[in-house]
Amino acid sequence: MAPAPFVAGVPLSTSVFKADIFKGKVLFCTGGGSGICRGMTEAMMKHGADAVILGRQINRLTKAAEELTKSTGRTCIPAQVDVREPKTLAAAVAKTIEQFGRIDYVICGAAGNFLSPISNLSENGFRTVIEIDTLGTYNTIKATLPHLRKSKGSYVHVSATLHYRATPYQVHVSAAKAAVDALSSVLAIEEGPHGVRSNVLAPGPVANTEGADRLSNKSNYLEMKQTLPLGRVGAIEDCANAGVFLFSDAAAFITGQTIVVDGGNEHLRTSYLPYPQAVLDPASIKDMIPAKL
């Protein structure tokens, strides 16, 4: 029998940091309705923070906010936004200030991705990912920065490792996330004198996320599980715990950095897709690629 493809990460708990380290603090998280960003929000709330989660699907956000409030004992509220539209972010910031009076931490996690070779990628498809990932991060920073200056707060931008080495069929998100990394670095040096920190969290392959489902399949994860130095694929909890660290006082002198959470995968990484046949014959993975982008 083949081994299970996924192994859970360290549980979201208060065993490392005190349960109240974020008491009285407020988290503002784009993309917080699901996946890694929801996991990061849950971890912050378990350590005392209240939160606002943002995204386009209000039903999913409302359900997630109710579940997070119930499971953590803190307050989480949903706010419907499109990070490409600054007015929606401004309204969400106003709602946050009205509810909580402050913003201390921001997770820029809204993202879009799909598989496509450059030859099949439309200008609109490329632009859409750039607008969500890069422009959306910029818009989120612009909307929240005055409040983070007041609170001497901190940003964590959820990036990726795809652009560290060329990844086929990922030109759009590679370009977008490389820009996010650069944006964070400049933000760190410009806003450091104001007491604001900015760091990047770059997950590698993380199980049970939308991105993982779109970019890979069970056999890929089985292979990575056998080759990764730590012997397993990443879990949402791994990213969540790293986020707690970056926002905590333990990281008070860390800014402008990228924390890679990938179990050592970047040092060994090969393409998610079989190379070169996937590039020479896109039909070999046709079930993973939309017909028109």
CATH number of residue 113's parent domain = 3.40.50.720
Torsion of Cα atoms, 148 then 149 then 150 then 154, to 10°: 40
* pLDDT on residue 222: 63
Give domain status of residue 234, yes or no. yes
Residues 6+ apart with CB under 8 A from 204: 161, 234, 260, 261, 262, 263, 265, 266, 269
**83 within domain boundaries:** yes
In a domain, 210, yes or no: yes
- pTM, two decimals, is 0.89
- The one catalytic residue among 177, 198, 216, 225: 177
Residues of the chain with pLDDT below 70 are 1-15, 210-226, 269-272, 287-293
pLDDT for 4:
37
Give the structural domain span for 229.
26-288
Domain count, the chain: 1
Q: What's the longest Cα–Cα distance across the chain? A: 57
Residue 7 has a pLDDT of 43
The answer to the question of residue 238 being in a domain is yes
Residue 18 is among the residues annotated as catalytic for this protein: no
For residue 192, is it within any domain?
Answer: yes
Radius of gyration for the alpha carbons in the chain, expressed in angstroms and rounded = 19
* The pLDDT of residue 290: 65
- Asked if residue 140 lies in contact with residue 184, where contact means CB atoms within 8 angstroms, the answer is no
The confidence score (pLDDT) of residue 16 equals: 80
Whole-angstrom Cα distance, residue 108 to residue 201?
10
Catalytic residue flag (residue 284): no
197: β partners: 154
Q: Which is the catalytic residue, given 34, 159, 174, 216?
A: 159
Strand order in the sheet with 76-80: 76-80, 50-55, 26-30, 105-108, 154-158, 197-203, 258-261
